[in-house]
Amino acid sequence: MAEASCLFDLPDSAATEGLGRALARSFPGAPAVVYLRGELGSGKTTCARSLLHALGVAAPVRSPTYTLVDTYSVATLTCVHVDLYRVQTTTEVEELGLRDMTGPGYLMLIEWPEKGGVAVPPPDLVLQLAYQGDARSAVARAASATGEAWLEKLAIDTSLAPYVSNLT
């Protein structure tokens, strides 16, 4: 049976980066949309950066806080890194044309998806990061068949075994 969600305890940044790398290894292939949720500083960009580098992005991955959308090409895959923290109106989000950057060949990672409203493409995978004192936790939830395939592979990634907190 497909995993519905995976819970991880991430004691330090290296663990968050490890989760990003594991997400890259278990990536079932485009198209896919990932929501990265959680407070400022909870590790969304840290996770996205390590995922993108592990997929083969050689360029530095910065927070798209000001650019809102950054794209990276790796062979036939286009990775789109979005941060909606600073958007004020749904019109602004519509003008980003996010839906034109989904579909075959596209992987989209969206920080602060909840700020975007209806112009935000629906997720396949939702990663919820949270503070646990100085550490962090992460819950990965599948939101589509693609997400389920992704989680199924993620759940058996042995590099994450030290961080797996629970399986539901």
**Which residues in this chain contact ligand ADP in the complex, by CB under 6 A?**
10, 12-13, 15-16, 38, 40-46, 63, 111, 134-136
**Positive or negative: CA dihedral 87, 90, 95, 100:** positive
- 15 vs 33, beta carbon nearer ligand ADP: 15
- 45 vs 137, beta carbon nearer Mg ion: 45
Could you tell me how many residues make up the chain? 168
DSSP class of residue 54 equals H
Peptide bond into 31 cis (omega under 30): yes
Choose among ligand ADP, Mg ion, none what residue 130 binds, the Cβ cut-off being 5 to 8 Å by kind.
none
- 83 vs 148, beta carbon nearer Mg ion: 83
- 106 vs 163, beta carbon nearer ligand ADP: 163
Question: What are 47's two structure tokens?
Answer: 């996770």
Query: Which one of residues 16, 26, 42, 45 is an interface residue with Mg ion (CB under 5 A)?
Result: 45
DSSP class of residue 68 equals S
Write down the least CB distance from residue 145 to ligand ADP, Å: 27
By the rule CB under 5 A, 44 interacts with Mg ion: yes
Residues 64-103 that bind Mg ion (CB under 5 A): none
CA distance readout (Å), 12 to 6, 38, 151: 18, 16, 22
- 109 vs 149, beta carbon nearer Mg ion: 109
By the rule CB under 5 A, 50 interacts with Mg ion: no
Maximum separation of any 2 CA atoms in the chain, in Å: 43
Write down the least CB distance from residue 46 to Mg ion, Å: 8
Q: Which helix (H) or strand (E) is 45 found in, with range?
A: helix 44-55
**Nearest to 110, CA basis, from 59, 154, 48, 51:** 48
Chain residues binding Mg ion by CB under 5 A are 44-45, 63, 111
